[in-house]
Every structure is written in C-alpha cells, then in structure tokens.
Amino acid sequence: MTSTNDAGEPLSISAELFDELYHYFKYASSAYSPVCLRPNGNALVLQFGNHLSDIQGFIARDDGRKEFVVALRGSASVTDALLDANILLVPFLTPGVKLPPHARVHAGFLAAWDTVALQITAALTAARRLHPGHRLVTVGHSMGGALATLAAVSLLQLFPASPMLDQTRTYSYGAPRVGNAVFAAHVNAEFGARAYRVVHTDDGVPTMIPTSLGYHHHGIEYWQHADPPAPSTTLRCTGGGGEDPCCSASVPSSGVTPAHATYLGITVPTPFCL
C-alpha cells in the first residue's frame, strides 16, 4: 500500500488494495436489493430492516475471509431524504457505546442507525458464538456509508477484539460527513488505516454537508480522481485528518452527480446475491 511521497502528496494505491475496495463495494451495492440470499456469494446471516425509518441491509458471513460483513443501504426513499436533511449535530447516544464528551454526529444518521442497531447486535452476538474467530466489517454507499461508520464505532465497543483477532474495519463509498472534528478524531484514533473512505471523481455527496456547519470527515480517503477506475487513478489521501485539500475536498460540491451512482466500475444498485 502506498501513501504519500516525500512532499506529503497522495500517491496511487496498490492493485491489492484496489481489489479489496472493489470487493467490499459489491456488498454495499447489494444492500439496495430487498432480498440478497447469497451476498457476494457468501452465507446470509440476517436481512434486517425497519419500516419506520426505511433502513435496510444484511449481515453476511464469509468463512473464507473469516468475517461478518454488515452492509447498510443508502438513501432510497422520501423517509431517507428526511433523515439526510436532519443535519443537527447531537451527542452519540446508542446503548452500550460511549464516545468522548464533545463528540457530535449527524442527528438523522444516528436516528437511522438506532432503529436497526439492536437487530444487528443481537444477530452478531448469536453468530459470533458459533464463529468466534470471525472479525467484523461494516460497509455502505451514500447514507449507508455514514451508517456503516456509526455501526463500526458501535460494534468496536460492543464486540472488542481479542489480541489474536483483527479489529473491526469499515468501508464507505460516497458517504457524506458524519460528525464533528472530535468524532472524526475518535474514529481516526480507534480505526487508523482500518477506516476506508472512498470517493469517485466529482461525487458531491461527500462534501455536500459543509465543514462550516461544524462537520469534519474521518479516516483515510481513497479518491478515484479519474476514470476508468484503476489503482493508478486512485489516490490514498492522508492529509488533514480526513480533510485532505489535495483530494476530493479540492472539488467544489455539486451535490448528487452521476459519479455518485457508480463506484469502481459498478453501478448502484447492482446486486451480487448469488
């Protein structure tokens, strides 16, 4: 994996990392499917959802990689749009989870996560009894990516890894900013390089909620700055603690552009469910 050159400028990623980002986006795209019996060709543990919040997704078990993958769908309804629009920054209030005192997150995303959190944690509790060596991975596109971040923060505390087990990882694609700088710093401290935030060219959703409202991106950004998708056109951006001025933040947000609907050559919502 490459990072930056001596001048601190982003460099392109390895073929292995590109394949990894591609692999997990297939879960994120599949989360839009009402039923996904074989997510990415693996076992379905739970298809979850909440009718009031219109949040849905699934938990898959990949025995080859020894992991459970929690995939959350992005916005697909008026209800989701209303949650997206609730941009008030609020304390992170989820049972069993404690963040730094001044950490704040998007009120709509938190409300959405809380409607499915108990389903997910109950299913993982039961599944991990049978497969205690499986690590946890969360994935999502658009609002689903924001929810995947909240899920990862929650699950890391609820299911702490043993010294011999890899920690929880999270992959978001085209996700908006989720919380304030304190929250972003917490995610960076807890996950480090295990938080993957992918942006496609001029997708404006990741920068739609401006930093002027107190928001701050977390994690290492992987910016596919040009098409077609390839390791050579995807940069690993580490500056600014999540707000690297050399990467997608350098492009003024145009909202939902065509780039938001396609990631790594896959058009949302292509299902990978067989």
Give me the active site residues, please. Answer: 142, 203, 260
What Cα–Cα distance (Å) separates residue 201 from each residue in 11, 225, 257? 15, 4, 10
15-54: b (≥16 Cβ within 10 Å) or e:
eebbebbebbbbbbbbbbbeebeebbebeebbbbbeeebb
Could you tell me the end-to-end alpha-carbon distance of the chain, in angstroms, rounded to an integer? Answer: 31
Tell me the one-letter amino acid at 108: G
The residues, ordered by sequence, that sit 6+ positions from 169 with a Cβ below 8 Å of its Cβ are 135, 136, 137, 138, 152, 191, 194, 195, 196
Residue 222: helix, strand or coil by DSSP?
Answer: strand
Cα separation of 150 and 215, whole Å?
A: 15
Cβ atoms within 10 Å, residue 132: 9
Q: Which residue has the tokens 């995807």?
A: 234
* Residues paired with residue 49 on neighbouring β-strands, in sequence order: 56
Which pair of structure tokens corresponds to residue 111?
């409300």
